[in-house]
Amino acid sequence: MTSDLILKLEGIASAYGKIDAVKGIDLEVKRGQIVTLLGANGAGKTTTLKTISGLVRAKAGRVLFEGQDITAMAAHEIARAGVVHVPEGRHVLRGLSVRENLELGAFTVKDAALRKERLDQVFAQFPILKTRANSDGSLLSGGEQQMLAIGRALMHGPKIVLLDEPSMGLAPKLVLETMRIVKRLNEAGTTILLVEQNARLALRLAHYGYVLESGVIRLEGEASQLSADPSIVQAYLGS
């Protein structure tokens, strides 16, 4: 395996009881890239992310992170190793301040000085969160809550972030703002595996893309190639 490969899925299959959600997929993420995983509702995108982060156990195949087999590792160990999942929905904890929500994100970080440093970094990246540090997290706007969810992931000091539909439920202007945040995060050095329903936007950001259909990879390629592919445009990008 080459060292510029940070994440590799080999023949990953995952099921919920008798429902086969992911049916043996191969996927690679190079260090420093944004790779997007596209597909219709129910294609298996979330299940793929959950399998990587240890929330769903693979039925077959292997997940390699920096060459190490993490398939059987516990979710908190996977997070500690540097693979951090930002789940669908924003999961901001009501009754906790923005600062407390962020600190909760750093549960894997034992060193108090490092936690403080990370908090300062998140506040520098998202000044609005600093302004609202003592407000209840659930009072933030949808876009701000998405920043908080991403900020919470950054508290772990991730090497790769698994982002599940960060733009879901946001107004169009905030969708664009969220995509800019994802881009900045990547430019600051974080590798990203991005699940998006908005294929057009995701392909504009990403270096490489995979199209998942009923648990199987139907297509993959450079993002620029995929967005120019007539069959993709018709099936996934609309008019």
Size of the site for ligand ATP (CB under 6 A): 12
Q: Which phi and psi (to 5°) does residue 54 adopt? A: 85, 10
Which residue in the shown chain puts its C-beta closest to Mg ion? 46
Q: Which stretch binds ligand ATP (CB under 6 A): 38-46, 91-99, 127-135, 199-207?
A: 38-46
Q: Can you tell me the distance from the alpha carbon of 220 to that of 38, in angstroms, rounded to the nearest whole number?
A: 10
* Nearest CA among 67, 132, 126 for reference residue 98: 132
Q: Which stretch binds Mg ion (CB under 5 A): 37-45, 124-132, 208-216, 223-231?
A: 37-45
Site for ligand ATP in 178-197 (CB under 6 A): 197
42 Cβ neighbours under 8 A, 6+ residues apart:
214
46 vs 167 by CB, closer to ligand ATP: 46
Q: Can you tell me the distance from the alpha carbon of 186 to that of 95, in angstroms, rounded to the nearest whole number?
A: 31
Which three-class secondary structure state does DSSP give residue 231?
helix
Which three-class secondary structure state does DSSP give residue 26?
strand
43 vs 160 by CB, closer to ligand ATP: 43
Q: Can you tell me the distance from the alpha carbon of 13 to that of 33, in angstroms, rounded to the nearest whole number?
A: 24
Distance in Å, CB of 58 to ligand ATP, minimum? 13
Distance in Å, CB of 196 to ligand ATP, minimum? 9
Is 44 a binding residue for ligand ATP by CB under 6 A? The answer is yes
Distance in Å, CB of 26 to Mg ion, minimum? 20
Q: Can you tell me the distance from the alpha carbon of 105 to that of 150, in angstroms, rounded to the nearest whole number?
A: 10
Distance in Å, CB of 178 to ligand ATP, minimum? 16
| End-to-end Cα, the chain, rounded Å | 40
Site for ligand ATP in 15-34 (CB under 6 A): 16, 19, 21
| One of 46, 53, 186, 191 touching Mg ion (CB under 5 A) | 46
Distance in Å, CB of 207 to ligand ATP, minimum? 21
User: Of ligand ATP, Mg ion, none, which one does residue 21 interact with (CB within 5 to 8 Å by kind)?
Assistant: ligand ATP
- Which pair of tokens denotes residue 187? 């430019």
Distance in Å, CB of 36 to ligand ATP, minimum? 13
Amino acid identity, position 183: K
* Nearest CA among 169, 222, 227, 209 for reference residue 39: 209
- Footprint on this chain of Mg ion (rule: CB under 5 A): 45-46
- Footprint on this chain of ligand ATP (rule: CB under 6 A): 16, 19, 21, 39, 41-47, 197
